Structure 1
């Protein structure tokens, strides 16, 4: 026997009522044969069990559509009338339920929902305002009603942030700062985040403006240990102190160096290591970082807390700065250290903090030693030092050197 429209509707409402009865925090008002335009009752949420009015948290307007059409089972899509969407927008949103009723057994139902806030409705209507209806995608309801209760609480939570004014607000500049807001179960807020979509907001002054609803599949979840002290070195480098964290039990991240300028990532799954450095500090500190990198690249040499990881392959090691490669930087600073030491100039020069003209002077100084030109007397000024250099017959020397004076 075919079901009539009223039977289908009542079967759907009955199944939703039965589902919600398992939560002592939710009171449902789902009248049968409701003739209210666009809405079919409401759900009242309470902060504690017992449904006492002093503990009422809020009321969510709802719409229920019962159907025997199996298409909702296949693609979770259902047409919603544009006129209804406009009404939901004017009433600050709706929880829309689509309930599949098995025509052969009306007690077999499947419940789908879509929590539609102002941002969702505006996005759904964009460019489709002239249509009669719009097919929207729905979610299967949570198996446990206590999990679905968080969906309702988040709906009420975001209603406070999403106003018609915030949606119409136009920023003068492209937003750069974003914040994700959601309510989760105390002690396990990630649980909600892994199963349900959330809103990303930008903030203009004190006004939160919704910019995107993010689905769980668009996020990457990882575990991260607390920081631990660690010592690492290579065969030819000094020992560095740093801080280690482990991500997803397989990626070791270490920040180390005098200025935390070095970053090391060891992936124990694919047995690779990546190293980056910002090259800060004095000449010796810069050289120490470059020697570490050189050993890592050429010899595969690496020790972490004394454990030999030499079998791990180094990839994507790079140094920042004005050099074409780390080898070029290493050779330059080796030569610079030798020149400065031979001329009794301290090595406590913070090379990358010098003004451009001083850096150019040091570049010219090194080039003059490596590629002596014509006979001449040159004066190099950098970091408060003056170094007079004489070139004679391809010999480069400091005119104040004791051997030259004698």
Structure 2
């Protein structure tokens, strides 16, 4: 019995059943490692134009019907595997033949690509036992196997015999732009819902897309994959009774089910059913109420609205959902109580002018304690039983990702009360030579404070200064505070800081007899530069300061704003260490450093 001839004939026969594949396979092992090739043609006419070729090796084995399994192992020598690798890969066939009748029992195959062979070579042996699985009977599947083998062989041939880097190594070098893989499918157009079924139990190579390499580097081989999930996003409004809750939703497909996920809140799971088989299908509902404070409020309101209406809409399509069943009733009651509590928290945060969303899902026990304190002391305006902090100074109350500026004040009833520091005018003084001088409660704020507090309400700051009797001291304090705002803006780019600084500077300009106008001009110009460019009138005022002022700080500042850095540096060279340290603490020095960096 000529096993090799029977085996090669079986492969030729199976390949011949397809419309675009052909083969030329020897039956006498005349080549050292290969028996021939399978060819991929452009069309069913099998013209010679643009023919693609993938090498093959065919082995025959005499056995019995009882030996036929879903997969087998077959020994291949190191030399043969190495030859396959250096050639870019091969399709390796093993044909089981009935040892009594000579009939073909089963054809098995594996695609031996360089990336796979490298993995096999991790242990040095003379013979390696590779796994093979049944060659598909479906002609479309045969084409997919051959075409996929060819495509990967072409991409991997140039990397044969080299050590491929790992994804982690490429990422550390900073050259990894992404990863990709591909698969071949014949027939109808592929949509996301089909991908899990197409890829189930198949194999693919992961390629690393790196800077300067359009092909991609093969980095990992995945064999017989399972539990494939694909996700498809739909940009459609999700509404209940005309009220929009979400503007998109996702479908997550597996080989047997579809999960429709709306707002990471409502998940509907139902079987994957073909269009021709659609009928009334079972649906499993799940609700997930997590996330930030605003996210949880929105999710609960969505669920309660669905329960009230008996469903929701996706675009113009009504989706009936019944939540009046006993299994949901207790949960709905809990959600109704929770959303009332969450809204009371959000209302208080809104009154405190807090725009950042509270990450309530990340609250520690200490955060929860501080949240309860805030709700009791500020929300319900109840006194605090125990107070360990110093009174009448700014304190930080931490609640998860929020930092709140609060103050504790003792009332005439002997009890302590908490206040929002940025929502209450306080009379503040400092003592000097035995005298008490009125100041703004915000005078001592610095860069750190302006970038720290989430309840900072900037309009109250200028209002507070305006309530104090005007003096040169008060105006100088406001000016210094404004400079701290500019330094804070340079760090966090919060536009409200720049706007408030501009308002304070405009207020200062109204009192030329109490504050030097050169200060207001310079500060006004450095605010303008942070917003855009100086106009001609601004530059003219700065020229006048640079030529006539006796104050070297003013002249240096004017030169920086005019971008005459050489002139500014001449002044710096005349400064001693103390003078230079003082000037470098002004926000205008940030503009100087920014300009120098731009010039390289």
Q: Same fold (TM over 0.5)?
A: yes
In the alignment, which residue of structure 1 is the partner of 2:477? Answer: none
Tell me which of 324, 340, 344 is aligned to 1:334.
Answer: 344
Is the 1:167–1:209 contact (alpha carbons within 8 Å) kept by the matching residues of 2?
no
Following superposition, the deviation at residue 304 of structure 1 comes to 2.6
Following superposition, the deviation at residue 126 of structure 1 comes to 1.6
Q: Distance in 1 between matches of 2:286 and 2:102?
A: 60
In the alignment, which residue of structure 2 is the partner of 1:119? Answer: 115
In the alignment, which residue of structure 1 is the partner of 2:22? Answer: 27
Q: Distance in 2 between matches of 1:21 and 1:335?
A: 72
Count the aligned residue pairs: 359
Following superposition, the deviation at residue 392 of structure 1 comes to 4.5
In the alignment, which residue of structure 2 is the partner of 1:153? Answer: 147
In the alignment, which residue of structure 2 is the partner of 1:373? Answer: 384
In the alignment, which residue of structure 1 is the partner of 2:298? Answer: 289
Tell me which of 76, 81, 85 is aligned to 2:77.
Answer: 81
Greater share of helix:
2
Per-residue deviation, residues 27-67 of structure 1 (Å, max 9, x unmatched): 3111222332221122222122233222312x211111111
Is the 1:97–1:112 contact (alpha carbons within 8 Å) kept by the matching residues of 2?
yes
SS in 1 for 2:68: helix
**Residues 23 and 286 (structure 1), Cα distance of their counterparts in 2 relative to 1, 3 Å cut:** closer
TM-score norm. by structure 1 comes to 0.70
Is the 2:268–2:283 contact (alpha carbons within 8 Å) kept by the matching residues of 1?
no
Per-residue deviation, residues 313-332 of structure 1 (Å, max 9, x unmatched): 57xx9xxxxxxxx9899747
Is the 2:246–2:262 contact (alpha carbons within 8 Å) kept by the matching residues of 1?
no
In the alignment, which residue of structure 1 is the partner of 2:563? Answer: none
TM-score norm. by structure 2 comes to 0.50
In the alignment, which residue of structure 2 is the partner of 1:65? Answer: 59
Structure 2: where are the runs of 5+ without partners?
Answer: 271-281, 360-368, 397-401, 427-600
SS in 2 for 1:160: helix
**Residues 363 and 62 (structure 1), Cα distance of their counterparts in 2 relative to 1, 3 Å cut:** same
In the alignment, which residue of structure 1 is the partner of 2:357? Answer: 352
In the TM superposition, 1:205-216 aligns within 5 A as: 205=211, 206=213, 207-216=216-225
Q: Distance in 2 between matches of 1:181 and 1:392?
A: 76
Greater share of strand:
1
What do you get for the CA RMSD once the two structures are aligned?
Answer: 4.5
Q: Distance in 2 between matches of 1:81 and 1:33?
A: 18
In the alignment, which residue of structure 1 is the partner of 2:32? Answer: 37
Following superposition, the deviation at residue 150 of structure 1 comes to 1.7
In the alignment, which residue of structure 2 is the partner of 1:275? Answer: 288
Is the 1:332–1:366 contact (alpha carbons within 8 Å) kept by the matching residues of 2?
no
Is the 2:41–2:50 contact (alpha carbons within 8 Å) kept by the matching residues of 1?
yes
Following superposition, the deviation at residue 367 of structure 1 comes to 5.0
SS in 2 for 1:53: coil
Following superposition, the deviation at residue 125 of structure 1 comes to 2.1
**Residues 44 and 253 (structure 1), Cα distance of their counterparts in 2 relative to 1, 3 Å cut:** same
Larger mean CA deviation between 112-121 and 70-79 belongs to 70-79
Q: Distance in 1 between matches of 2:295 and 2:113?
A: 54
Is the 1:20–1:28 contact (alpha carbons within 8 Å) kept by the matching residues of 2?
yes
In the alignment, which residue of structure 1 is the partner of 2:245? Answer: 240
Higher RCO (CA < 8 A, seq sep 6+): 1
**Residues 336 and 38 (structure 1), Cα distance of their counterparts in 2 relative to 1, 3 Å cut:** closer
* Higher gyration radius (CA): 2
Q: Distance in 1 between matches of 2:344 and 2:406?
A: 20
Q: Distance in 1 between matches of 2:234 and 2:349?
A: 42
Tell me which of 128, 135, 141 is aligned to 2:129.
Answer: 135
Per-residue deviation, residues 271-325 of structure 1 (Å, max 9, x unmatched): 4422245436xxxx568437538969xx9997534845324657xx9xxxxxxxx
Structure 1: where are the runs of 5+ without partners?
Answer: 256-261, 318-325, 355-359, 402-406
Following superposition, the deviation at residue 267 of structure 1 comes to 4.0
Following superposition, the deviation at residue 334 of structure 1 comes to 1.2
